Amino acid sequence: MNRRIAAVLFLISFSSFDVFAAENLKSHIKAEVVSDRSSVQPGERFYAGIHFKMDPDWHIYWRNAGDSGIPTVIDWKLPEGVRAGPLLWPFPKKIQMEEITSYGYDDEIILLNEMTISENFSSHQLTLEADVTWLGCEKICVPGKSSPSLTLPVSSSASEPSENNEKIQNTLTSLPEPFLEPLKGKVSGSNVTLELPEEWGTKKEILFYPYEDNWLDHGAPQKISKVETGWVLKTKKSSIAPAFSDSTIKPGIIAINEGEKVYEVEIDFIQSKNEDASLLGHLTFKPSGTLLLAIGALGFFFFCNKIRGK
């Protein structure tokens, strides 16, 4: 037999079970460095980030990946004199796959950092390089890794906006704004209640996305409802949630009407153990059903007795 054909057949015979070797490691996610400036000036601040482009149906993950997935990581390798601020995460999409709820981005997204270049930066060029790792998933998941870079001229004259400036400005306006007051939260059994400011009560949709992955039931519905004290968002705790202490603070973001407004918030939980608050929490939920049943049962017994009486 022709040697080449034999080699091909040999490969084919292995390919279906060859899982240790790279199966289909074609990258479905592209990552490149973008900046809002086409040149930079020592002493100024500017934005740089990673522009991710996903193939259709593919996604990467937010800082809290949710039930499955791994957060995207950007590790800048910057020359001396250049510092990166915290990574700025736009609010994510909920990705629902059967029973599993994750948080991430599809299509395209820019994850930015604010950069500061020192006054004494003396080189004529600045190379912005980052080690980027992500988990890309469609129906299947493929981990990705790359080290993209961008080199910008450094000049003493005022810097110019780059071709990506508009996209970056749009990304900046979609970032969560800090919400100054912590919101009050309550946990009672598996029920989680977040108190909302009065003016949010009329909003169509309010979604809370926690930064930590282990305490909220990511798949549970989040419902706005009116109670005596005002408007609340009702949802569920995860069955793996660690115990809440007297004043557990949980950070996250709140997105109103699909990102019409996004706030970074802290939820201040007062874990009510056997107090009235927890009783009330129960009353609004379970016993109301039991009460109905009791009334129904009573009625049924009266009905039975009446028949027996005849």
The site for other proteins (CB under 8 A) is made up of 17, 19-20, 23, 67-70, 97-100, 102, 135, 137, 139-143, 189-190, 213-214, 236, 239-240, 242, 285-286, 289-290, 293, 297, 300-301, 304, 307-308
Shortest distance (Å) from residue 286 CB to other proteins: 5
Give the pair of three-digit tokens for residue 250: 């949980």
Report the half-sphere exposure of 46 (CA within 13 A, side-chain side). Answer: 27
Q: Which is nearer to other proteins, 18 or 160 (CB)?
A: 18
What is the closest distance, in whole angstroms, from the C-beta atom of residue 273 to other proteins in the complex? 17
Nearest approach, Cβ of residue 296 and other proteins (Å): 9
Distance of CA 248 to the CA centre of its chain: 20
Q: Are 248 and 270 in contact (CB under 8 A)?
A: no
Minimal distance, residue 87 CB to other proteins, in Å: 18
Helix (H) or strand (E) holding 289: helix 276-309
Nearer to other proteins, 44 or 67 (CB): 67
Least Å from the CB of residue 242 to other proteins:
8
In the complex with other proteins, the residue whose CB is nearer, 124 or 139, is: 139
Measured distance CA(259)–CA(253) in Å, rounded: 11
Residue nearer to other proteins on the CB measure, 39 or 190: 190
Task: For CA atoms 71, 72, 76, 82, give the dihedral sign.
Answer: negative
Identify which of residues 99 and 276 has a Cβ nearer to other proteins in the complex. 99
- Count of other CB atoms within 10 angstroms of residue 247: 10
Smallest distance from the beta carbon of 297 to other proteins, in angstroms? 6
Q: Tally Cβ neighbours within 10 Å of residue 36.
A: 23
Q: What is the largest CA-CA distance in the chain?
A: 104
158 vs 240, beta carbon nearer other proteins: 240
CA 285 to chain centre: 29
Whichever of 96 and 257 has its CB closer to other proteins, that residue is: 96
The region that residue 262 occupies, defined by phi over 0 for left and psi between -120 and 50 for alpha, beta otherwise, is beta
Calpha distance 72→183 (Å, rounded): 28
CB of 213 to other proteins, least distance (A): 6
Whether 187 and 267 have beta carbons less than 8 Å apart is answered as no
For residue 42, the Cα-to-chain-centroid distance in whole angstroms is: 34
